Amino acid sequence: MDSSSSEILVDAGSFRLYKDGHADRTGDMETVPAGFDADTGVTSKDVVIDAVTGVFVRLYLPPIEAASDDDVKKLPILVFFHGGYFVVRSASCPKHHRYINDIVAKSSLIAISVDYRLAPEHLLPAAYDDSWAALNWALSGADPWLSEHGDTSRVFLAGCSAGGNIAHNITIAVGVRGLDAAVQACIEGTLLLHPSFCGETRMEGEPEQFWDSVKKRWSIIFPDAEGGLDDPRMNPVAAGAPSLTKLACERLLVCAAAEDPRRPRERAYYDAVKSSGWGGEVDWFESEGEGHGFFVHEYGSSEAVKLMDRFSFARSGTMDSSSAEILIDLGGFRLYKDGHADRSVNIESVPAGFDDETGVTSKDVVIDAVTGVSARLYLPPIEAATDDDGKKKLPILVFFHGGYFVAGSASYPPLHRYTNYVVASACVVAVSVNYRLAPEHLLPAAYEDSWLAISWAVSGTADPWLSEHGDTGRVFLTGASAGGNIAHNMTIAVGVRGLDAVVPAPRIEGTILLHPSFCGQTRMEGEPAEFRDGVKKRWAVIFPDAKDGLDDPRMNPMAAGAPSLTKLACERMLVCAAALDPRRTRERAYYDAVKASGWEREVEWFESEGEGHHFFVDKHGSHEAIKLMERLAAFIAGN
């Protein structure tokens, strides 16, 4: 790592703040132009609202036929504030732009997406000031789209993450000081999408690492905040904060995600509004099995569609009742009462072949013709796979993908890209396993397929790439999320039963667990209750014959009756976690249990700050992802 990192004051994945006050933004700053969207029929344009500050808004108008019926010509006005820690993103962010196009089309409204100034170049309260100015500009009828089609008696405020925080504060500000706009206007509703709130005192269920990171960022982007995190703009229930009865909207919808570390604060906010004596209507909407801001990143997923449907709040406040036929909904897949499944995300695939960026070549190989189980093999550039004699044996890395055991594959584009980079960085031959998925193939099918794949990979005769370039004396097992769970179980299985391979003495040199999914029947301190409940529900569906439910040793390696951790067959282990991942509590407990078990090998802990579950695949190239990649390569190299 570059020694200049010592000057970094805070690193949040998509941006870095340095001691001299400047910022490097390493992600979330892509832009897309306004214009006509062929998918939705929505038209957008950018309008500068303040020539001095440069603040602009992106206006959205639905198809004109939707904006003109004989009875109602005026449409609701939605003022939207984007997220990004107050530091990154914009109104022209491609994913936000796509999301708002959909909102506008499906809810038939006019939207104003505010491009407020970002910290640290413009410290808070600049973003709040800009947002206030944008609301008043919108209601003044300053643009023909608004004056001709906008109904100022039906105004909605909405925001995601930091934007949700802004939406709350602007709603309070309207109640405290009134609007500057000359026209009569009514804030009919406010929609808070995973709003960012916090406080000086950590709440029960609020991960400590997450709370620490928020505190650090807040002190930098708002150094003049009153009371630090207890400034009313970050903690709306702090002593001295304006009364929640000042909320100027008639209806409030608070939206949360079960796996978001912000969820305890969001629920506390919702409860505080309900008990405040406020005379409006407040509703709670929670997305199961999902993390922060998922609806923007996992566009089109089942949970994202359900949340989009809830935007009918801007029309009638009702929800579609067709979801009653769904037995379980995990965001990326739905299981219906009749037993069939729909997968809406993580089902894309990319063909194997040569990768220009890394020089890695891949191919797909069927391991078992009966079950259809296959693997994608990866070979690094040939010069890396040879020494002076023209021969060089490379470590064999067997990789198990994630996806709740129900989604994902070795050919999933972000994972394929990630594996290419691992192979190039660590100079290994990789075997990425395509195990069978639940519910069509209930567990333990995935474990059985993974065991078969390992035995195949180290057999020495399975494929020329492995026999010619693979060193069965240096085998590494790794997996992400559900795949990390599999990697642990395979390492235990090798220790308990030995490998089926015919090659003499194959050796598991190391196991790398990347955000492994573990759980248990009893919730651990610091483990979000909603997250554990979601895991329990999923596990019951995909593994109905599990022994003792979540205390089956395959899900809870520390449960009574689980194989001793001294049976781990690897010589070294690396347990990788993310500070904002609700699985982090279990992962640390697992690491501690391995250390205390009497296992006489080397176990190491590696934690990524300011990041959530599986970020290294989804945020390829981010600072923390690069650090993790470097640690993987060093671990495989023996460092």
* Residue 591 forms part of a structural domain: yes
320 catalytically annotated: no
* 310 and 422 part of one domain: no
* 333 and 394 part of one domain: no
* 121 and 200 part of one domain: yes
* 171 and 265 part of one domain: yes
CA of 289: how far to CAs of 191, 409, 527, 556, in Å?
A: 21, 19, 14, 19
* Residue 351 forms part of a structural domain: no
What is the DSSP-derived secondary structure letter of residue 36?
B
Q: Which of 292, 515, 613, 623 is catalytic?
A: 292
Other Cβ atoms closer than 10 A to 339: 9
Radius of gyration of the chain (CA): 26
Number of domains in the chain: 2
* Residue 349 forms part of a structural domain: no
- Taking the chain (639 residues) in runs of 10, the rounded mean pLDDT of each run is 55 74 76 87 92 94 63 83 94 92 92 96 96 94 91 95 98 92 80 98 92 91 95 97 96 95 96 94 92 86 86 50 53 61 68 93 91 94 61 92 91 94 97 93 96 92 92 96 98 90 77 98 91 89 93 97 97 97 96 97 96 90 94 95
CATH value at residue 73: 3.40.50.1820
161 catalytically annotated: yes
Model pLDDT, residue 317: 40
Last residue of a domain, one of 309, 342, 375: 342
Residues, the chain? 639
* 289 and 373 part of one domain: no
- Residue for token pair 């709603």: 171
* 372 and 399 part of one domain: yes
Last residue of a domain, one of 307, 342, 377: 342
Q: Which of 44, 107, 140, 161 is catalytic?
A: 161
* Residue 102 forms part of a structural domain: yes
Model pLDDT, residue 384: 54
* 209 and 76 part of one domain: yes
Q: Which of 102, 260, 449, 471 is catalytic?
A: 260
* 66 and 215 part of one domain: yes
Cβ atoms 283, 253 nearer than 8 A: yes
* Residue 246 forms part of a structural domain: yes
Model pLDDT, residue 389: 54
Report angle CA 244, 246, 248 to the nearest 5 degrees. 115
For residue 224, give every residue at least 6 positions away whose Cβ sits within 8 Å of its Cβ, in sequence order, or none: 123
Report phi then psi at 418, rounded to 5. Answer: -60, -45
pLDDT tens for each residue of 34-74: 988 888 889 999 999 999 999 999 999 998 654 444 444 68
* Residue 407 forms part of a structural domain: yes
Model pLDDT, residue 504: 64
* 389 and 518 part of one domain: yes
Number of H helices and E strands in the chain, helices first, is 16, 22
Please give the Cα distance from 353 to 544 (Å, whole number): 38
623 catalytically annotated: no
* Residue 4 forms part of a structural domain: no
* Residue 260 forms part of a structural domain: yes
Q: Does residue 54 come out as left (phi exceeding 0), alpha (psi in the -120 to 50 range) or beta?
A: left
* 314 and 373 part of one domain: no
* 337 and 369 part of one domain: no
Last residue of a domain, one of 342, 376, 394: 342
Model pLDDT, residue 342: 66
* 448 and 539 part of one domain: yes
For residue 605, give every residue at least 6 positions away whose Cβ sits within 8 Å of its Cβ, in sequence order, or none: 575, 577, 588, 591
User: Which domain covers residue 491, as residue numbers?
Assistant: 361-637
Report angle CA 590, 596, 601 to the nearest 5 degrees. 90
Please give the Cα distance from 363 to 377 (Å, whole number): 5
Q: Which residues pair with 298 in a beta bridge?
A: none
